[in-house]
Structure 1
């Protein structure tokens, strides 16, 4: 007897091969075969049997003579071979190997109760549940499957889901020797097709489900399905009990085709084992099985609808094995979740994190649908596709994920011999560029990023690898474990994250996809992933791991600083000049590419986005709105003058996962800019505060301003808010909500009352208060209030937000300087805002001297002279003590009746020693102009003096 097997007589071998039409030659030369059967000629030693297997990459017949030279006593093949030792020609050498293994090991499966389960998904979970249940019932059981095999409670590793026929018979022989009586086994379609289970004797054959998988091997779904069916048909016709999931479409076909056999159905509709009253909770699942009219409730620690189907299949099998429903229910309740199958990663962050083996479209859909049944906020998913496997399923996997969750991270997953970039390109076929997916090829960084993105109440599912503890690249298995990576990050100190870095790093592949590069990646070969954690347009602020966008401006050209940026090889520069350098990427419009990256980046976050524009009051309204929304939850807002394309990008890049609201101020001075900005920030609601004569240099007139601004409404929005007092907005009467003093306003402002340092007013039936006494800020605040009311805010919360704003810097900012008052409004200016500022200035403390420092109103186009003359005419009707003008067109402000008049072309030309504090003494002083006149320079020393 050889190790693990028995000495075989040649006549016994020929007899066992009878189903394969054996034709023996030179069979008189030997009687006893003392060695072991082999399919690898390199393992042959004296006395062994060599079986010539025709594989996918090599043919064993080519190595028959080498096996003879190594001492083989017998060769078995399918082709004619002229060799000197005994040779048996058969019709199928794979089946021959199975029959020889069965003979060599003494047919161990015939002495065991064999339970085999096949199907696309659920094999591991169902088989392990049955195995653990049998052990819990006191049965000596074994298990063989994806993870390896359990022998006497110890897990041993194997290469395949179903081991090759020799290894399989050896394992079964060991189990028999250990006194095991029942063996539960996963049966893969590869094992069925390649005869790895040929000759085994199954007593129970189970079917879980069928969906697209392994079409790199089976070529068609029909072939794949028939392979699965052949397993059940063979053994059911031989007397085995078939247990089939009748909720699966192909399962119902199997049941129909196996009519007349012992085939039992398990499912939610007219089944032998009727599944009903399913209840899914975050920590458990429960259901009722009805068998022969009798109901029994089951409770399990396994969660998810797909696991209920697996559990029902397992319970039905246990009952068919002779255990009562009561026994089965008790033991099922004690079984722990299977490793790598919807396995929860513990954490104290309030996030449901699960690792799962799902790597087919159907498996991904099933697990995500099960997650939807658990109470949650957002559902996030990480997926990848394996190399050297069915390419056709790759785009379907991504589509399954996108259809069933809120955001998807795409990462590398066992690329094997293929180029991972090609795999991801395959996944993206047919998927819209602007769906919420994001590539981070580096799997560790991808896991960390998706966990960083998640917030309390969210669910994260990391799909693909499950129990695997390796990443296979070009034939080498590198140590990697999704569960351990996630656990380590979740247990790390949360504050250790660098808040200056992007939440989601930008992968080089994402950059090039958005750059519309039609890259043709090679089929094979590994390319190291490269991603970037920061984005910058300022070469002076570049740190390692950054993307630098070389923007060409009026004063500086970012292309001049590319070399210094890419001197650090961890950086990449995007410029618009021809340059052949490592780390440089050409794009005709780097700013546009940066904007596209920001648009895609923003899609992955959950913040409710509000965009606003208008001719005056944008920044004030933005501040009110951000304060009000911020009273309820963390809110991102546009800073300072970030209301152009570069500024919008800078705002977006500051977003954090816990920002529940985002307020974007959008400015414009050219046609098409508002539309472009909206394409980038994709608002959920939008508002236009007012329309006035601003930026007329390119927008021509107020009608042009209206047409440009209204582009903010030209998209699917939850709310459109507009000024009730402007008849141009009547076209939005049925699709928007109006705010203003008009009695017809949806949100009517009324009963405004100015006190010493605050203003009270009503919006509909609710009373509010804002700091300050600037009348037009009531309207600005009302837009913020209306937005919050639309979103269901309590008026008390709204007032809390309004209370947090005392003054807005440089926007009608009231600064008390001893006995004087300074009104600083030098952020922006147009005829409407200038008129309102002058009216407020004159009405404030009318008994005191009034002085003004006024500058140009810029970007008013061909009518600039007229608009400045209009302000001059207004000033001529006012009573005041002094006027200083700065700029070019501000000369027109000079009222004819005013003698004390001084004009300066630039603010720097004011007299040396001019002191704004002294100028304000005992006076009410207005400082106002467009930002480009730089009157804000006069305010710099105020902090030092006060």
Structure 2
């Protein structure tokens, strides 16, 4: 693609001598640059792409986008200065891959908790009713036999546009994707055309990045202010109601749902024979749903997915059938197949609200003790640590406080931050820094009818310590310790 055509979304012009340069690829990591590539220098939290411009050129880059003032020592190459290279990368990537979101029906799900579950529920509803659907998020990018592991819930715009192009070329009709606050704030979704948006909730998380809940809210609102055909908002909680009242409603159909108010009312929640039954009322009609998923919080995730399915023209009776056969999401209230008189559950809960939801759901059906193993991630919001300690102490019969992903922090210091919260309760607990040892200790404690919750990492199969990701598959650790085989998937 000609350089001038590629940067047209950046409102920049080039001298004739540069405008016709043929660009064969784009990179923002100098290690990934190739011959005739355009390098976009992004300033990150740890590395600054401006320091790797020479390395990118050595690898074959023939043009550079930058936002800092530089001395151009490569006068034979175009150096193009923009106000924000991240947003420029989004526009350039979209152009390079031919605006793939315009060829798809992209539905974005944002919120603190429930994004992954909601995306998978909606993907399954669409697929079970004959609509080819891909998914992008915490568990990676998946469509048919395409499976791409992702470092971020919402990948960088270059990778995201590549994935959308790939899915479109493979015949996808829909892509349901998680939209993280980091992804929004860093401009990764700026140039994606979203058909619909779903807001799950907003609770404390990521305050290491956003600093305040108000700033966190405003970032989420920025996504939901984008033009869309419909916007679906969970009204349970103050932030949902505020979001519903404040977001841009121009040319968008607004659908709020909750137990007490909204266009859609959730009612008649019943637990029966290991199933949850509930009703949704809208347009003066009432519809019944039944699911084998665990936890009332999943009713809200399901409702968002159901309503999006309805907006996409799926017959309500087909949705009822699809919901009844839905299976859980990996690492979300996932029972490890131990075939014992106790239960071991793995869940991704790593926020105060998420942990409270999971523990409340498990406690309801627990005939023995509820034993909770948890920690908190390093280099992340420190304010939530004692809060999670208190929640775990209040809702558990016994706690094991351990490491999560300590990253660059001292794991014992993280546990020290958790302890004041757990000490404010009467629960008995132990601290074991090594997470594998902690898991094995918890298994050794189990008696008949106990439930052992291993919280915080869910689907993750690694543990991040001092910049190194070590293999850490909790399901495998449990089954190996019990001498049981890992089942085929």
Query: Structure 1 residues 445, 284: closer, same or farther in 2, change over 3 A?
Result: farther
- Which of 230, 233, 239 pairs up with 2:225? 233
- Higher RCO structure (Cα 8 Å, ≥6 apart): 2
- Which of 8, 17, 21 pairs up with 1:32? 21
- Which of 449, 455, 478 pairs up with 1:463? 455
Hey, what does 1:720 align to over in structure 2? Answer: none
Hey, what does 2:237 align to over in structure 1? Answer: 248
Per the alignment, in what secondary structure is the counterpart of residue 359 of structure 2? helix
Q: Deviations over 1:492-534 (max 9, x none)?
A: 69xxxxxxxxxxxxxxxxxxxxxxxxxxxxxxxxxxxxxxxxx
Q: Deviations over 1:385-414 (max 9, x none)?
A: 112211221111111111212211111212
Q: Deviations over 1:351-383 (max 9, x none)?
A: 232110001111001111112322523222110
Rounded to whole Å, the distance in 2 between the matches of 1:79 and 1:420 is 37
Question: Is 43-52 or 322-331 further displaced after alignment?
Answer: 43-52
The runs of 5 or more residues in structure 2 that have no matched partner are none
- Which of 387, 397, 403 pairs up with 1:412? 403
Per the alignment, in what secondary structure is the counterpart of residue 438 of structure 2? helix
TM-score by length of 2: 0.93
The Cα of 1:272 is off from its aligned counterpart by 1.5
Q: Which has the larger radius of gyration?
A: 1
Rounded to whole Å, the distance in 2 between the matches of 1:10 and 1:259 is 35
Query: Structure 1 residues 68, 10: closer, same or farther in 2, change over 3 A?
Result: same
CA RMSD of aligned residues (A): 2.0
Hey, what does 2:304 align to over in structure 1? Answer: 313
Per the alignment, in what secondary structure is the counterpart of residue 403 of structure 2? coil
Query: Structure 1 residues 390, 150: closer, same or farther in 2, change over 3 A?
Result: same
Give yes or no for the alignment of 1:423 onto 2:417.
no
The Cα of 1:66 is off from its aligned counterpart by 4.1
Per the alignment, in what secondary structure is the counterpart of residue 90 of structure 2? helix
Q: Deviations over 1:775-796 (max 9, x none)?
A: xxxxxxxxxxxxxxxxxxxxxx
Query: Structure 1 residues 63, 135: closer, same or farther in 2, change over 3 A?
Result: same
Rounded to whole Å, the distance in 1 between the matches of 2:350 and 2:378 is 12
Per the alignment, in what secondary structure is the counterpart of residue 299 of structure 2? helix
Hey, what does 1:79 align to over in structure 2? Answer: 68
Give yes or no for the alignment of 1:390 onto 2:381.
yes
Rounded to whole Å, the distance in 2 between the matches of 1:409 and 1:338 is 25
Give yes or no for the alignment of 1:112 onto 2:101.
no
Rounded to whole Å, the distance in 2 between the matches of 1:281 and 1:490 is 32
Query: Structure 1 residues 259, 28: closer, same or farther in 2, change over 3 A?
Result: closer
Matches within 5 A, 1:728-877: none
**Which runs of 4 or more aligned residues in structure 1 lie more than 6 Å from their structure 2 counterparts after TM superposition?**
none
Hey, what does 2:117 align to over in structure 1? Answer: 125
Per the alignment, in what secondary structure is the counterpart of residue 420 of structure 2? coil
Give yes or no for the alignment of 1:98 onto 2:90.
yes
Query: Structure 1 residues 435, 374: closer, same or farther in 2, change over 3 A?
Result: closer
Per the alignment, in what secondary structure is the counterpart of residue 184 of structure 1? strand
The runs of 5 or more residues in structure 1 that have no matched partner are 1-7, 494-946
Give yes or no for the alignment of 1:146 onto 2:138.
yes
Give yes or no for the alignment of 1:272 onto 2:263.
yes
Rounded to whole Å, the distance in 2 between the matches of 1:479 and 1:62 is 31
Rounded to whole Å, the distance in 2 between the matches of 1:411 and 1:82 is 49
Query: Structure 1 residues 366, 430: closer, same or farther in 2, change over 3 A?
Result: closer
Give yes or no for the alignment of 1:47 onto 2:36.
yes
The Cα of 1:447 is off from its aligned counterpart by 1.8
Hey, what does 2:164 align to over in structure 1? Answer: 172
Say whether the 8 Å CA contact 1:280–1:373 is kept in structure 2: no
Say whether the 8 Å CA contact 1:112–1:181 is kept in structure 2: yes
Q: Deviations over 1:181-210 (max 9, x none)?
A: 100001111111111112111101111011
Hey, what does 1:641 align to over in structure 2? Answer: none
Give the total of aligned pairs: 479
Query: Structure 1 residues 299, 463: closer, same or farther in 2, change over 3 A?
Result: same
Say whether the 8 Å CA contact 2:134–2:176 is kept in structure 1: yes
TM-score by length of 1: 0.49
